[in-house]
Amino acid sequence: MAWFRRTEKGINTPTENKKEAPDGLWYKTPSGNIIHIRELKSNQYVCPDDDYHVRIGSKEYFEILFDNNQFTELDANMTSGDPLKFVDTKAYPSRIKETISKTELKDAARTAVGKMNGLDLVVTCMDFSFIGGSMGSVVGEKIARGINYSLANKIPFLMISKSGGARMMEAGFSLMQMAKTSARLALLSEAKIPYISLMTDPTTGGVTASYAMLGDFNIAEPDALIGFAGPRVIRETIGKDLPKGFQSSEFLLEHGFLDFIVDRRNLKTKLTTLLKMIQ
Amino acid sequence: MLLEFEKPIADLEAKLADMKTLAEQSNVDVSDAVKKLEEKIHTLKEETFNNLTRWQRVQLSRHAERPYTLDYIYEITEDFIELHGDRLVADDKAMVGGFGNVDGQTIMFIGQQKGRNTKQRQMRNFGMANPDGYRKALRLMKLAEKFNKPIVTLIDTPGAFPGLEAEERGQAEAIAKNLKEMFMLKVPVICIVIGEGASGGALGIAIGDKVFMLENTWYSVISPESCSSILWRSWDYKEQAAEALKLTAHDMQGMKLVDGIIKEPLGGAHVDSKAMAKELKKVILKNIKELQKLSPEDRIDQRIEKFSSMGVVVE
């Protein structure tokens, strides 16, 4: 006479009677650790159990880096044109419009000026949620103007990359953003103003092959995917599986392309120490 | 190896040849018929090659008989000394370079090199350079700068090599460094797309005071095939992708992303490679002369400003 025995097997609640658990309260890391969003936030979006760095955007990075989350955004209203009248399965302007309303972002990068532990800093940060963080004219122009601001005011420049590469829908224009950003960085370098490039998960393609790799200091978050060609393309080219950890931050450090890997929880302190040393 | 749209022309040309032999053998006067046929061929050629689709131009840019970098260099220069190696790990055979003499002017030539047959193609890695190639190119550019000689780069690549070792040795870093360093070169730099100009692999040697494209070449952020596979999730939309990418010389000049177009012989560069090389030589010498009138500082400023103005944004 077990009163707790189930008489019917399975879940029989009809869909319309199911109760929704509120979304976004808990986060599950790839290794299966579950953490409350509030705790994650207070940990700079790093899971304390497995050090997993959750993909975050410009809003979060600005909050982490700038004192009291105070900053001035530059070129906040800049959006994409459609110089090629590009249509694939969708017209480019409608893709942009949809993405803007979905993400509440204007494009895949934002630039802000503010203070980090009292030091002036210009930061351009990419947003992966905007068409895979792809680099088109807006991203290139925002970076270029961010660098110009650094040059004019002699303030160090920090670039936070998170991108699948150049944006196909702006074709030739996207390609030339690699040139444009590199040109501005050449000038910044001549002026001896520090440039720190922080690569986060993922940083690939034309972004890696231009500004991301041109830092006076090239640094990365742990276990980020960083490379020129994507893993799938390389696998198809060589016809073999890729070794474990290939194109990870640790792999790049080992091969001499990074100065160091930084845990996001130490990012602000470490950047401040570094910038103070070279002041 | 004929392309689809070359076939009707080739058929007529074969017919013309037959007619001429027949006339010789039988001593019949067919000069009227020959003339007519020749006119017909010319009209067909003009019709075909003045109305090429973007995809057809991509096909021409990859034509099996198209002249490659070393073909042009040997044709243009009186003397050419090829220089090898990046002084770090290797000599990348997909990227060639060296000093050459052209009408008394010493020029540093650098470019991607494709192979003509299977063995050569393997050796040249299909014109896909490794980081060693980009570092070799930069070493040679610095050498040119040291001895105050202008630089001409010839671009012809389906992309930088996407391989395991390429990543280990920093393909992205090598290309990025070239972009930055090329802006600061004190000598004149002329870049010419002679075949395929695929993405970062092309741009890695294409930062110049003047950037030209031969008439039947393409230059974009991705190949039409890869674009098709990513945006349409199938390899079958390469023609639409080529249209969407607007990747031809005319497109790129129209968008002010390149400075000019160098006209090819009717039918493409491979039809008369000597004439093509002659035209190339003319453009190179003329532009070097003009660029040498500017001071190094002005050239650098203008180079930076030109690329800085590229892009379309809404504010």
Contact flag B311-A180 (C-beta cutoff 8 Å): yes
By residue count, chain B amounts to 315
pLDDT per residue as tens digits for the range B119-171: 999 999 999 999 999 999 999 999 999 999 999 999 999 999 999 999 999 99
Q: A267: distance to nearest CA of chain B, Å?
A: 23
Burial class (CB in 10 A: 0-12, 13-18, 19+), B255: middle
% pLDDT > 70, chain B: 100
DSSP structural state of residue A198: E
Q: To the nearest whole angstrom, how far is the Cα of A65 from the nearest Cα of chain B?
A: 27
- Position A238 scores a pLDDT of 87
Looking at residue A113, what is its pLDDT? 98
Q: pLDDT value at position A2?
A: 65
State how far the Cα of A252 lies from the Cα of A236, in Å rounded to an integer.
21
User: For residue A218, which of A199, A237, A205, A194 has the smallest C-alpha distance?
Assistant: A199
Q: How far from chain centre, in Å, is Cα B237? A: 24
Q: Do A227 and B167 touch (CB under 8 A)?
A: yes
pLDDT band per the 50, 70, 90 thresholds, residue A19: low
Interface contact flag, A175 B199, Cβ < 8 Å: yes
Selected for mutation to probe chain A from B173, B205, B236 (highest A CB count within 10 Å) is B173
Give yes or no for a contact between A158 and A119, defined as CB atoms under 8 angstroms apart: no
Residues of chain A found within 8 Å of residue B255, distances taken between Cβ atoms:
83, 172-173
Say if residue A14 is exposed, middle or buried (CB neighbours under 10 Å; 0-12, 13-18, 19+): exposed
Is A238 at the interface with chain B, CB within 8 A?
yes
What domains, with CATH codes, occur in chain A? 25-54 (no CATH), 56-278 (3.90.226.10)
How confident is residue B22, by pLDDT bands cut at 50, 70 and 90? confident
pLDDT of residue A21: 60
pLDDT of residue B148: 98
Task: Return the residue of B nearest to A170 by Cα.
Answer: B245
Give the integer Cα–Cα distance in Å for A224 and A248: 5
- Predicted TM-score (pTM) of this structure: 0.94
User: Could you read off the pLDDT of A33-81 as tens digits, one per residue?
Assistant: 999 999 999 999 999 999 999 999 999 999 999 999 999 999 999 999 9
Residue of chain A nearest B205, judged by CA positions: A179
% of chain A surpassing 70 pLDDT: 96
The C-alpha of B229 sits at a distance from chain A's nearest C-alpha, in angstroms, of: 11
Say if residue B253's pLDDT is above 90.
Answer: yes
Q: Is A225 on the interface with B (CB under 8 A)?
A: no
Of B175, B184, B221, which has the smallest distance from its Cβ to A168's Cβ? Answer: B221
The predicted structure's pLDDT at residue A17: 73
pLDDT confidence band for B112 (50 / 70 / 90): very high
By Cβ distance, the residue of A138, A184, A209 closest to B172 is A209
Q: Give pLDDT, residue A22.
A: 62
- pLDDT score for A1: 52
A177 has pLDDT over 60: yes
Q: Give the residue, A108 or A90, on which the prediction is more confident.
A: A108
- Closest residue to A183, CB basis, from B227, B247, B307: B307
Mean pLDDT, all residues of chain A:
94
The beta-carbon neighbor of A185 closest among B169, B180, B244 is B180
**pLDDT mean over B285-310:** 98
Check B176 against A257: CB less than 8 A apart: no
Residue A279: CB partners within 8 Å, gap ≥ 6?
A: none
Of B172, B310, B315, the CB nearest to A208: B172
Structure confidence by residue, pLDDT tens digits, B57-110: 999 999 999 999 999 999 999 999 999 999 999 999 999 999 999 999 999 999
Q: Between residues A179 and A233, which one has the greater pLDDT? A: A179
Residues 114-133 of A with CB under 8 A from B: none
Residue partners of B228: CB distance under 8 A and separation at least 6: B234, B235, B236, B237, B238, B240, B241
Which amino acid is located at A268 in the chain?
K
The rounded mean pLDDT for chain B is 96
User: Which residues in chain B have their CB less than 8 angstroms from residue A175's CB?
Assistant: 199-200, 203, 219-221, 257
The pLDDT-based confidence of A9 (bands split at 50, 70, 90) is confident
Q: Enumerate the residues of chain A whose CB falls inside 8 A of the CB of residue B158.
A: none
pLDDT at res. B30: 83
Say which of A86, A140, A228 has its CB closest to residue B172: A228
Asked if A172 lies within 8 A of B200 by C-beta distance, the reply is no
State yes or no: pLDDT of A3 exceeds 70.
no
CB B111, CB B153: distance < 8 Å: yes
- The average pLDDT across B294-302 equals 98
Quick one: which of B303, B123, B71 has its CA closest to B206?
B303
pLDDT of A223 > 90? The answer is yes
Chain A residue at shortest CA distance from B303? A183
A228 with B167: Cβ contact below 8 A: yes
DSSP string, A55-83: ---HHHHHHHHSGGG-EEEESTT-EE--T
* pLDDT tens string A115-145: 999 999 999 999 999 999 999 999 999 999 9
